[in-house]
Amino acid sequence: MKVLVVGANGQIGKQATEMLQEGNDHHVRAMVRKEDQLNEFKEKGIEAVLADLEGPVDQLAQAAEGCDAVIFAAGSGGKTGADKTLLIDLDGAVKMVEAAEKAGVERFLMVSALQAHNRENWNEKIRHYYVAKHYADKALEESSLNHTIVRPGGLLNEEGTGKVRVAEDLPERATIPREDVARVLVAALNEEKTFNRGFDLLSGEYSIEEALKSL
């Protein structure tokens, strides 16, 4: 499977890209928006393409051309305002869904946020972020794509444990290392139990393979 990682220079996206490159199961293409990022990936022997989520859908479709799957791990980041969240996490995600359909991609994995599907459990301090995630997820669900929506808890930069917990609803506030989120995304690519569904993701006591097969 040829996989386009959108947001490949981000913390989760970069780890997912490197995991795909190191494994033998898939071919990876990194999508970035800056020339220096492009060169950095190419120097590592990773195929890379330049495209901007604030650009036109046609440009994004060209970036996805020839790919079988998209992993959407892009985000505006915590230091930007609500306007960037709407442009990247919402409109950028929706445009990438449209671009994937246009390019003939079949599979689309979205990094969302814990309980984004459940308004009653949104974090009031970043409500705009949850609004963006909620409606981007809905656009993906309503598309023709075979989708998986991964909703991780609080993201940590520590080393992954390889042990997780997944379910349609995990309403408690808890955390997970970014490395484990990346591993779940890679593992979910071919896992049929994740097809056309979304799930919350936290650190837990089950191996990633075991957890995904339990869905």
Query: Which pLDDT value is given to residue 24?
Result: 86
Whether 81 has a pLDDT exceeding 90, the answer reads no
Q: Is 129 a catalytic residue?
A: yes
What pLDDT does 188 receive? Answer: 98
Alpha carbon distance 46, 30 (integer Å)? 7
Q: Is the dihedral of CA 194, 153, 13, 183 positive or negative?
A: negative
Q: Model pTM? A: 0.97
List the one residue out of 78, 91, 79, 70 whose CA is nearest residue 7: 70
For residue 192, pLDDT beyond 80: yes
pLDDT, tens digit (0-9, with 9 covering 90-100), for 105-153: 999 999 999 999 999 999 989 999 999 999 999 999 999 999 999 999 9
- Between CA 1 and CA 11 the distance in angstroms is 23
The CA-atom distances, in angstroms, between 3 and each of 67, 79, 122 are 6, 28, 31
Query: What is the band of 38 on the pLDDT scale with cuts at 50, 70, 90?
Result: very high
